[in-house]
Amino acid sequence: MRRIAAAIGAAVVIPLSGCSALQQAGTASPSPVPATPTGPAPTSTAAHPLEATFQQVIGDVLPSIVQINTRVGLGSGVVYDAAGHIVTNAHVVGRATTMTVTLATGGEPRPARLVRSFEAGDLAVIKVDDPEGLKPARFGDSAKLRVGQMVLAMGNPLGLSGSVTNGIVSALGRTVTEPQTAGSPGATIANAIQTSAAINPGNSGGALVDLSGQVIGIPTLAATDPELGGGAAPGIGFAIPSNTATDIAAQIVRDGKVTNTHRAALGIRGSTVVGADGRPIGAAVARVEPGGGAAKAGIEEGDVIVAVNGADTPTMAALAEVLTTLKPGAQAKVELLRQDGSRETVTVTLGELPGE
């Protein structure tokens, strides 16, 4: 597993806020995309081929991007189907069950409701009451992505509707964890796509698009650098792979909930515990789920999990990151610090993280 600290030094990953200061202040609002000019270009030379590709992709995909407004902020979403389902981030929706949706191409806001959130993966599906005119996006196969591919990020950063930035796929297979806050579930995202395309608050839940016009990711996280006073680290953003997003969305649309998370679980509830020096030393077990893998392996309340398969787990976030690299049914060696101060390693057959 490649941890984000290894990729960006002291930087930490934070969730993109679903709140835009510009929108709250009333200084920005959705505006229609200008019509494509039909007359000759103002210059005597033809558009650069790359520019023409960008223009084509933006024209094709932007009508599938929406702005989502809740009582506490805004974010972005991608039209999933013609029935009015829209996929977005769980942290964009937050605790709201109703919201409004505005197309990037303009028009009146449309009422929408939450279908289901899957907080562990920071994904959610909402549905608009009136799906007329919605254009479903084309989702690509994120497994075919390669580092160096050019991509566009589309969304509503800072409430500026229908904004587009460009960059490349910087890395693949990252495991990143959001800090848990009032507006974020603290999700751990496996196989995240790292991109240099600028991602800002309000981009959350939008689209990361390849040059064939396919959505290959859902922009979700940005990195901050403590040395910059917690400001954004330029050119480091993360997106949930489209294969993950469409799998979860399909389950929610079909079953009303997530029935198969494909994610491993120990079968415990816990929290980070710190040592006498104030540093985190492990994940303290607060509850053992009856019949789960941990219970069968003899893990007890009060034990502290300090490593899994040799990888240190000083925090609950670190434990979650390790588990995202494993599969349900696999066996894992879990190193414990017992309440009497002794250390013991037990073998746990991993269960499956339940849906929500």
Predicted confidence (pLDDT) per residue in 243-256, tens digit: 999 999 999 999 99
Kindly tell me if the per-residue pLDDT of 48 is higher than 90. no
Extract the tokens encoding 292: 């789960």
In this structure, are residues 250 and 149 in contact, taking their beta carbons and an 8 Å threshold? no
Do the domains spanning 1-33+51-258 and 264-352 agree at the CATH topology level? no
161 as an active site residue: the answer is no
Which one of 64, 76, 91, 196 is the catalytic residue?
Answer: 91
Whole-model pTM: value is 0.83
Residue that wins the pLDDT comparison between 343 and 234:
343
Please provide the size of the chain in residues.
356
122 as an active site residue: the answer is yes
Superfamily of domain 264-352: PDZ domain (2.30.42.10)
CATH class given for the domain over 1-33+51-258: mainly beta
**Listed ranges 23-32, 175-184, 344-353; the one with the highest mean pLDDT:** 344-353
Give the pLDDT confidence score for residue 231 in this predicted structure.
65
In the chain, where are the structural domains located? 1-33+51-258, 264-352
Give the pLDDT confidence score for residue 72 in this predicted structure.
86
CA-CA-CA-CA torsion for 337, 341, 344, 349, nearest 10 degrees? Answer: -40
In this structure, are residues 335 and 306 in contact, taking their beta carbons and an 8 Å threshold? yes
Average pLDDT in the chain: 85
130 as an active site residue: the answer is no
Which one of 204, 210, 242, 303 is the catalytic residue?
Answer: 204
Least confident of 38-52, 159-173, 320-334: 38-52
- Kindly indicate the confidence band of residue 281, based on its pLDDT and cuts at 50, 70 and 90: very high
Least confident of 20-24, 124-128, 270-274: 20-24
Which one of 122, 196, 210, 242 is the catalytic residue?
Answer: 122
Least confident of 58-72, 184-198, 262-276: 184-198
Q: How far apart are CA 29 and CA 158, in angstroms?
A: 10
